[in-house]
Structures are given as structure tokens and as C-alpha cells.
């Protein structure tokens, strides 16, 4: 098969695997909605909280997809697939899912909270998904089990939700750019271009780290393939 055919076939496999976990995905989607509705009645920052909380859903889905596919990835690499083709297919499926969820979630928050700049809110929530997916993929490639990966993800997103945006540590966390956009959607003066560039740069760095880790793991697995010993005469 050609490169595009292999990517297309891997996308179909990833899509099927994602659909099989629809119950888990539904529960992950309910979590940020719960964060938003719990604060929407009394907190004007509810869209910011809900938008950043969407990272729990999308990064979690990426973690589960990455770890669940490890054994399959090994077999596909031995069959001739390249690590970058598998990573690209997984990224396309997860980002497509994340964008759809982000747009639907943005529509709910716009209808209920009526932000000053709804277009900026949509951009911020979509950027959350763009960063969250490679963040989850990186954790899935870096850590050995779902428990460790989910705990690190909860810690990073939780700190981003609670720390002041002007604090130095906040600017080092992956969702600083998206949160800037969400703050701007509520009327806070921000640099939209800088926030978008920061988010995209963070996503690119996370993807580069993910590919390096996945490529190393899959190459080691392919070199460790058992060989058949000739019979002793």
C-alpha cells in the first residue's frame, strides 16, 4: 500500500476503536459539562472553567487510545507500517473528535453564559482540544500505565484551572494560551495572536516529543522480534 493508503487504513482502525469506547467517551464528555454547570449559576468565570475542564475529556481520551493501541502498534509496525503513520492516524481521529466536542460544548456555553466575544470563546475551546490531544498522547507514550498518565494529566489541568493567569508557573503549563482566549471572550484585554501562537507551539512541541518516544519504543519492539533458529544437525 502507498503512504496515504496506510494512513487511511490506520484512521479506519482508530475510528473503530474510538467508537467501541463510546460509553467511556460519554462519561469523559459529561465531566467538563458538570464543571461548567456547577459554576455557571454563581461564577462569571464559568466558561473559562468549563473550557479548560474539557482538557480532562480530550486528553483522557488520547491517553486511553494511546495505551490501548500499544500491542496493535507493534504488530502493525512488524507488518510494514511506519510509526509516524500510526501517530498521524491517531492524531487525525482524536483531533476530529475533539473539534466536534469543542464546538458543541462552546454552543452550550454561549447559549447559557452569553459571553462578550462568542467567536473568541469558540476559538479558545477548540484550541483546548488542539493542545489536549497531543498532551494526552505524550503522557500515553511517556508513562507505563493509565493511572500514572491520568494523575499527571489531572495535576496539570487542575493547576491550570486554579493558578492565577499572570503567575509564572501558569505560563509554563500547556493550556495557558487557550485560557487567555477564554478570558478574552469574557472581556479581558488579551493578545489574541500571542495566545493562539503559544497554544499551537505547545501542541507542536508535545507532538514532537510524542513521536520521538513512540518511534523509539516501536523500533525497540521491532528489533526484539524473535527469530527462528535453524535446527541442529
Least trusted range by pLDDT, from 110-114, 161-165, 195-199: 161-165
Q: Average model confidence (pLDDT) for the chain?
A: 87
pLDDT in tens, 29-55: 888 999 899 988 888 899 999 999 999
Within 10 angstroms of residue 215's Cβ, the number of other Cβ atoms is 17
Within 10 angstroms of residue 116's Cβ, the number of other Cβ atoms is 12
pLDDT for 129 beyond 90? yes
Whether the Cβ atoms of residue 51 and residue 121 lie closer than 8 Å to each other: yes
Strand intervals (E) in the chain: none
pLDDT in tens, 3-33: 888 888 888 888 888 888 888 888 888 889 9
* Residue 233: DSSP 8-state: -
pLDDT in tens, 98-113: 999 999 999 999 999 9
Amino acid at each position: 500500500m502507498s503512504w496515504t493508503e496506510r494512513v487511511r487504513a490506520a484512521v479506519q482502525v482508530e475510528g473503530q476503536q474510538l467508537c467501541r469506547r463510546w460509553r467511556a467517551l460519554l462519561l469523559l464528555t459529561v465531566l467538563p459539562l458538570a464543571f461548567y454547570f456547577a459554576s455557571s449559576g454563581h461564577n462569571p468565570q464559568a466558561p473559562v472553567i468549563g473550557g479548560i475542564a474539557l482538557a480532562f475529556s480530550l486528553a483522557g481520551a488520547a491517553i486511553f487510545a494511546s495505551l490501548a493501541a500499544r500491542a496493535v502498534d507493534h504488530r502493525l509496525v512488524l507488518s510494514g507500517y511506519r510509526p509516524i503513520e500510526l501517530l498521524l492516524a491517531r492524531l487525525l481521529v482524536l483531533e476530529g473528535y475533539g473539534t466536534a466536542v469543542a464546538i458543541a460544548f462552546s454552543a452550550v456555553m454561549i447559549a447559557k453564559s452569553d459571553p462578550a466575544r462568542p467567536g473568541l470563546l469558540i476559538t479558545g475551546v477548540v484550541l483546548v482540544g488542539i493542545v489536549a490531544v497531543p498532551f494526552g498522547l505524550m503522557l500515553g507514550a511517556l508513562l507505563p500505565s493509565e493511572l500514572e498518565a491520568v494523575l499527571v494529566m489531572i495535576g496539570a489541568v487542575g493547576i491550570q484551572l486554579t493558578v492565577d493567569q499572570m503567575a509564572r508557573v501558569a505560563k509554563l503549563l500547556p493550556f495557558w494560551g487557550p485560557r487567555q482566549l477564554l478570558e478574552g471572550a469574557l472581556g479581558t484585554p488579551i493578545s489574541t495572536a500571542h495566545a493562539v501562537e503559544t497554544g499551537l507551539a505547545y501542541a507542536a512541541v508535545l507532538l514532537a516529543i510524542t513521536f520521538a518516544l513512540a518511534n523509539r519504543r516501536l523500533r525497540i519492539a521491532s528489533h526484539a522480534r524473535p527469530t527462528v533458529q535453524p535446527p541442529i544437525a
